[in-house]
Amino acid sequence: MTKLTHRLAGYLETLARTLRRYGRDDGKVLVLGGVRSGKSRHAERIVAHHTHLVYVAPGLPPSDDDPEWAARVAAHKARRPRHWTTVETTDLATLLRTATSPLLIDCLGTWVSRVLDEVGAWAGKPGWERRLDDRLEDFLAAWTQARVPVVAVSNEVGSGVVPATSSGRLFRDVLGALNNRVSAESDRSLLVVAGRVLELP
């Protein structure tokens, strides 16, 4: 009986993994990758079947002061289907809690950069660590509680060299720790390398 129980449990776990991987209800998915790895394109393919979708852009809006960034934003916009709704916000927690349509968040790296600025980390303002922790914990709680399919794109920052500046190291450490916790609370975690997708166990 014990062998049968173990075998049945193994079958059920395999079935659950298959449903998570191929089911249309995507649950919570984290898509990691380096710069120009194809992570955003893959995330867009994951959610392409949804009739209604909210594309969440938490990065800096385009500006004439930074034409290179403006060009990147324009390229992303041009790829999106017309029926997607775009929301530009850094309040990801509220959006996750109130969403009634599937979400695609692209990306957590740009969000972390803006949050570090908003809490005063770059300027070293007193209390920024506590404010940062509050923002991150609020987001993580909302991610866990989300009741709609949600895909988040994020930069994989653990494979490169140690940044030469303290601000670069801070960004890497905060985003790396956030990726770790988001992955732990996700149904699937994927790593995109040179356009190839690896399913993380």
Which residues are designated catalytic? 76
Query: Is residue 107 reached through a cis peptide bond, with omega within 30 degrees of 0 on the bond before it?
Result: yes
Burial of 146 (0-12, 13-18, 19+ CB in 10 A): middle
Q: Percent helix, strand, coil in the chain (nearest 5)?
A: 50, 20, 35
- Cβ pair 40, 197 in contact under 8 A: no
Output the CA–CA distances (angstroms, integers) from residue 125 to 16, 116, 131, 177, in the order listed. 47, 11, 10, 22
